[in-house]
Amino acid sequence: MATKHTPTHYVFLLGIVVLLAVFLLGDYLWASASASSSRSHASSSVPFWSKSLALSLGRSNPGPKEVRCFFNTSSFLGECGSIAAAMSKFNSFYSILLLEDDIAVRIAILVKLKLLFQLILRDEFNCFTSTYETNDHFLLTVIFCSAMNNIDTNVGLLYRMWIRQNNSSILLPKTNTKGLKVSIKLLNATYTDIPSPNLVWEEMPEAPVPRLDGASVQIKDLLYVFSGYGTIDYVHSHCDIFNFTSNTWCGRFDTPKAMANSHLGMATDGRYIYAVTGQTGPQCRGPTNRNFVLDTQTKEWNELPPLPFARYAPATQFWRGRLHVMGGGKEDRYEPGLEHWSLAVKDGKALETEWRTEIPIPRGGPHRACVVANDKLIAIGGQEGDFQAKPGSPIFKCSRRHEVQYADVYMLDDGKEWKQLPPMPKPNSHIESSWVLVNNSILIVGGTTLKHPITKKMILVGEVFRFDLHTLKWSVIGRLPFRVKTTLAGYWNGWLYFTSGQRDRGVDDPSPRKVIGSVYRSKIIL
């Protein structure tokens, strides 16, 4: 018997045909648009990365099959909290692409990835970064690493890297390394060390006491070394003097009882030493906003007007007849301060009764170097965040919080606008008294950089950095005898000196251990 088709059957079949046509048309239009978008973005100066991971750089990659193995599925992003990174071979470059909608997290991850990438490829590649904003308001950072020494860049090198948002650990899945031998298990504890020349260091007479987070200024051939922790449980309330000519410790005197014991801001006009704000007492006690001035000829102390608010380790300098204080940690010891104040002073006396508000510093926080050079005010490095007192602790016991060191350098030359200069070779803080001026260059001695991404331990710095004020370029001129933070540095007659601070645990362990009073010097020729 023949089957009789009803109008309903025809409508159903027609609907299927229409849906199939719509699907094919949509697929064709999507493919055309994707190809067009890939071509246009690949040829433009701003790469495009959509939330669905439609990578234009990947689509234009000579080996598109490799691109598909960078990511598992969209659930990959769900697992890692919108953080993704991949490295692909792109023409003669290797690149890391990083997507993150939180700029603070993005910066921290970027630094870790860049250091890791340079570790993997050793000295055979030169890496630099570029950052863009995509059309869907995500920040895209690309780390380009170009081959050096004419090595073969056509080897098949593929890594998948990502960082879990919970613990920021870097995971390295198995690699596809056709023709290239690479073996990476864990990040070595010393992975942040920068290759640099070995300087010849001479050990000089040790300081009367060890100190951490002290402060110092140099006047002619004398280095005045103030306060600081002896250990976390006791602090100093005096000044020791080192004579560079005789290489001896030649004096000692007490500081005012109301003056801070650590995290001071300090500057000099050549005779008077200005000691500003800081922390009173051991552990993580509160700050004071009281300020004092010392006449180095008479050894007499006087008090200056108090700061509007107390700060921890603010950047401090004497510039154009005014004492400038900026940044530092706020009263809770953790939140970065951006405020910038100044006070007119002359011959150790305040010419004003109140501090004047100045243009805020672009990035706040404590433990940065502050230098006056060529009549310009320069702020170098520093960090955001710091240890805090444990809630309810009767002794204000220090409890570690998250801190982020940075490499930023800012300059103020007209008093109205901060200008950003080239950053340090790596993030660095705890350097407020760790600098000297030598032959139109700023030297930075030691410090502390970003914590280890896996062990979370603090990493100390063992390099001597040079910032050439003529070329505005950074370099590493040598290594210290050990890694150390909060050094107190000086320079005299061709010799670079440093004393005090907290040194590392050994050659293979850059985490901090012993507070020292050692004094070293090395002949420096620039």
What's 202-523's CATH class?
mainly beta
DSSP 8-class letter at 55: B
Two tokens, residue 372: 């006056």
* CB distance 129 to 112 below 8 Å: no
The full DSSP string for 435-495 is: EEEETTEEEEEEEEEPPPTTT---EEEEEEEEEETTTTEEEEEEE-SS-EES-EEEEETTE
C-alpha–C-alpha distance, residues 388 and 273, integer Å = 29
Element (H, E) at 85: strand 84-90
Domain ranges of the chain: 44-178, 202-523
CB 409 within 8 A of CB 420: yes
> Distance (Å, rounded) from C-alpha 273 to C-alpha 283?
26
Distance CA 114, CA 336 (A): 25
pLDDT score recorded for residue 30:
52
Element (H, E) at 27: helix 7-43
Looking at residue 367, what is its pLDDT?
A: 98
User: Which regions in the chain score pLDDT beneath 50?
Assistant: 1-2, 31-107, 116-186
CA distance 155 to 140: 26
How far is residue 435's CA from residue 491's CA, in Å, rounded to a whole number? Answer: 9
pTM of the shown model: 0.69
319 - beta bridge partners? Answer: 322
Cα(444)–Cα(487) distance, integer angstroms: 9
